[in-house]
Amino acid sequence: MLDTVREVIVTTIDHDPNGTHAKHFLNVNETLDSLYTKKLISFTDVTNQTTINAAQDLGWEVAVGKYSTNPARFRAVERALNQSGQFINLWDADRLIYAATVSPTELRDLITETVKYDFLIVGATPDAIKTHQSSMTVWESIKSWRVGKYLGIEGDITNRGCFVMSRELATFVTAYKLEDYDETDSLFPMLALAYQKSLRDSNQFQLSRGIGYKEYEKIVSYEDWLFDGLSPEESARRKNTVEDFERRETHVKRILDTAQKISSMYGLTS
């Protein structure tokens, strides 16, 4: 078994214009330092300088730029490949902070699971899913079901923004040319499946650790804590609104279109 403390890099993206994450980075720093050999973070250029300074002071390797979510996640994996380490754990920063705050035990279990697979999908248990607003659960169940058909996995496949991948798989993933319409929620799992196929086609499948899926109860729940620092009006706006429902409908279509494109490109079947 690999020594996970020396082998796993965490790479994350953050958009924090209000500066509310600074104190949370401080609170979870000891936990994260005990789990990861390197901590990489990419901030949007409108993130509050207080948060950026806090991350730098705590040993994060910081990049700042004009990021949107999918290119930022893709570039975050590329950044991690420039570091030594056999496994890469990709998170959105608010979820990573939340995970380390509410259940460091579950987070440590996730890192232990990491070394067993080329690609590990982090999902929520049914009870954890119930903590999400209805506009999320309706559409997320659809996209997880469809992408899960390709992977042969039933569960919460495409919803957490958290994946773990081996260096070899990450190298395969980042060789893909990201396009504007691509959604990483389905792109990364589908490219993981394409990587498995490439090993089979080249008679190198003995090198595969496979694709894994594991559900968690606490670190993937959805709480008002995630809205810490937002005005009541903004917090309410993000919840059960028609606007949010319609936005998620568009998002799901993009995720399913991305999955279909990768399926056609690599000859994958469901």
- In this prediction, residue 160 carries a pLDDT of 77
- In this prediction, residue 110 carries a pLDDT of 92
Q: Which CATH number, 3.40.50, 3.90.550, 3.30.460, 1.10.730, labels domain 4-266?
A: 3.90.550
The answer for residues whose C-beta is within 8 angstroms of residue 29's C-beta and 6 or more apart is: 58, 59
DSSP code for 116: T
DSSP string of 62-80, one letter each residue: EEEE---HHHHHHHHHHHH
The whole model's pTM is what?
0.90
pLDDT in tens, the chain (270 residues): 444 445 899 999 999 998 999 999 999 999 999 999 999 999 999 999 999 999 999 999 999 998 888 999 999 999 999 998 999 999 999 889 989 998 999 999 999 888 889 999 998 888 888 777 776 777 788 889 999 999 999 999 987 778 999 999 999 999 999 998 899 999 999 999 999 999 999 999 888 899 999 999 888 876 655 545 556 666 666 665 667 667 778 888 999 999 999 999 999 987
- In this prediction, residue 108 carries a pLDDT of 93
- In this prediction, residue 197 carries a pLDDT of 94
DSSP string of 174-238, one letter each residue: HTS---TT--HHHHHHHHHHHHHHHHHHTT-GGG---EEEEEESSTT---GGGGTTS-HHHHHHT
